[in-house]
A and B are shown apart, each in its own frame.
Chain A
Amino acid sequence: MRDPSLNVVIALGEYQGGVAVAYYADPIRRDWLLGEIESHAPSADQPALRTSSVDEAIAYPDRLVFVVPRDEAATVEELDALRDRLLMPPRRLPVVLFLLRDGPGERALARCPGLASIVRGRDPDWDLLARADVDLERARFERETGLSPQAWLRKWKNGEFPETPELIVRSYRATALEGE
């Protein structure tokens, strides 16, 4: 089974600082996603920059940038045209483009093969995080760790576990499950 938390971490491209896409079903879900994705983001000294401007995204290669377009199709086309400037020199933190599922941005991406190839594999179904069967996931978590997500998180925050990549991802899962 693919772990949605892990998919999110991979999509954020912790080591590549590339571009990811977050599809959302409606504006309420988008606002939830903005916070959720920021909580999964690679460690950053500043909060995510939220903008609708591609130029601004390019101007801040060291920050996590959330691009929430006003005109989705135009923004996708602009990102496609400027993608090399976005990726070279390599970004330290990624750009996450927010697009309405089945909306004009998704249709525009189908006309922009270059950008589509860059985000391929980095546009997971973020809503899986919200739609996961919480009871099932909690039970799975307890089976794997012997602790409830809350109890596990308490120990994590107290520094009782080492910060290994596996446990960092587990902390994301615990946070998501605890919040439900």
Chain B
Amino acid sequence: MLDLLTRLQPHRPLDGDEDAYVERAEEGGNAIAAWVRAGRSSLLVLGPAGIGKSTELARAARDLQPDRFTCLIPLDRFENVRLVTPERALLRIAALLVQVAGQGLPGFSPSRDLSTAIHGPEPGVYSFPPPPVWDADTALRVACREVAGASKQGRVCLLVDGLEKAPESTFWNVADALGHIAPEVDLIVVIPWYVAYGQRTGEVLRPDEKLFAIHPVVVTGELGVPGRRFLQRLLGRHFAAAGGIAGLLETILDKPSPDPGVVELRGVFNRAIDMSGGIPRTYLQLIVDATMRAKFRSHDQPRTDDLDDAVADQRDSFRRLLSAGDEVALRDADGTDGRDLEWQQKIRLLNHGMLIESQEAGKPVLHIHPIIRDLLE
């Protein structure tokens, strides 16, 4: 088990399919899909690093497939999103859409004009009529029409991931370009926090857009039971993805057992949940790091002291990210809606997951991440 737990990949999104995906109690890919089906043609998704945005996007794509031809576009895997121009972003989206359609729609092949607009003219080939000169906006528009026409669903949904890493000027330029995509194309875009809390007002993409935040799962108190269960199941799926027996970890964690080893292991996993603040990537990373320590110390399983050291390392990393004034701001914001925080500081603290936003009685409330709380104390 030790070897397998060290092979978990906390940074890798899970696929949206049934075997890999773990459903959240709320704010998951199925909820994103439900909003789109309910008629919102633009959804802006946001959340702190490591929360599972890419996983939920993959799930939404899967859920929407019966009604729409869905195309997941991890823009950051193909472009440097800090430097990408709107033209290049749109052409990349068009190229990926055509590529995915070519693989998923039997017999689909783009028109010669579209292919030329995306890939450039075939050298040395004379054709008449000559290929039109299209800008990227037009190329994407035609790509969406051709794919929608060839698909049984008759409608295209683009799910764009990675733009949350773009600096503000780049993001707004690309967002303006995405806003020109025809309204009959559904658009789900992961956006940076500064869009939600920033100073620019007005629409981001389109007039009917909805902001969809994915928050850390609640892991404390009675309300935290589903969240803890979610993280345990997530660990089980990552364990299976690393080559472990599916369901094994869930069984160990679920079944009452007097075995002291099982009791300690359950205690370690539970404490890792407490210290994760409900952020999946943090939880998995703590398990991996604690297990690596256990392995090198010749422990037969991760123990409490292994986890304590893993937490201490994360605490050191957080300490480096704190700027002057952050400690006071964190204490002041704890338990409030954060309206008194300076907005850039608020965005930075939320982005890093140092402040965790949750919904309490329908209102946003900020709390200090448990590892940061540890640090401040």
Q: Chain A: residues with CB nearer than 8 A to chain B?
A: 2, 6-7, 9-10, 14-16, 18, 77-78, 80-85, 87-88, 90, 106, 109-114, 116-125, 164-166, 168-169
A168 to B82, CA, bound (A): 41
Of all chain B residues, the one with the shortest Cβ separation from A117 is: B49
Complex CA–CA separation, A123 to B319 (angstroms): 11
Min CB–CB distance A102 → chain B (angstroms) = 9
Contacting residue for A114 out of B6, B165, B297, B321, CB 8 A:
B165
Cβ proximity bits B271-315 to A, threshold 8 Å, 1 near / 0 not:
000000000011001101100110111100000000001101110
**Given A117-B353, A164-B298; A84-B74 close (CB under 8 Å):** yes
B11 in contact with A18 (CB, 8 Å): yes
Known contacts A87-B12, A113-B48, A165-B296: A10-B80 contact under CB 8 Å: no
User: Judging by beta carbons under 8 Å apart, are A169 and B353 in contact?
Assistant: no
CB contact list, B138-173 vs A, under 8 A = 162, 164-167
> Is the CB of B92 closer than 8 A to any CB of chain A?
no
Please tell me if the beta carbons of B9 and A16 are within 8 angstroms of each other in the complex. Answer: yes
Q: Across the two chains, which residue of chain A brings its CB closest to B297?
A: A166
The answer to whether residues A90 and B9 also contact, given A6-B296, A84-B74 and a CB cut-off of 8 A, is yes
B residues adjacent to A (C-beta < 8 A):
3, 6-7, 9, 11-12, 48-50, 74, 76-77, 80-83, 162, 164-167, 281-282, 285-286, 288-289, 292-293, 295-298, 309-310, 312-314, 316-318, 320-321, 323, 348, 351-353
The answer to whether B348 and A106 have CB atoms under 8 Å apart is: no
A114 touches B12 (CB 8 A): no
Question: Inside 8 A of A117's CB, which chain B residues have their CB?
Answer: 49-50, 281-282, 352-353
Selected from A84, A121, A166, the residue in CB contact (under 8 A) with B313 is A121
Specify which chain A residues have a CB less than 8 angstroms from the CB of B323 in the assembled complex: 110
Provide the residues of chain A in CB contact with B318, threshold 8 Å.
120
Contact between B12 and A120 (Cβ–Cβ < 8 Å)?
no
* Closest B residue, CB atoms, query A168: B296
- Complex partner residue of A85 from B76, B167, B286, CB under 8 angstroms: B76
| Contact A111–B9 (Cβ < 8 Å) | no
Q: Are B351 and A113 in contact (CB under 8 A)?
A: yes
Q: Are B82 and A116 in contact (CB under 8 A)?
A: no
* Known A81-B76, A84-B77, A121-B289: A166·B296 in contact at CB below 8 Å: yes
Q: Are the C-beta atoms of A120 and B6 separated by less than 8 Å? A: no
Please name 27 pairs of A and B residues whose Cβ atoms are closer than 8 Å in the assembled complex, sorted by A. A7-B313, A9-B292, A14-B6, A14-B292, A15-B288, A15-B292, A77-B167, A80-B82, A81-B83, A84-B74, A84-B162, A85-B77, A90-B9, A110-B321, A110-B323, A113-B48, A113-B351, A114-B164, A116-B317, A117-B282, A120-B317, A121-B310, A122-B313, A125-B316, A165-B296, A165-B298, A166-B298
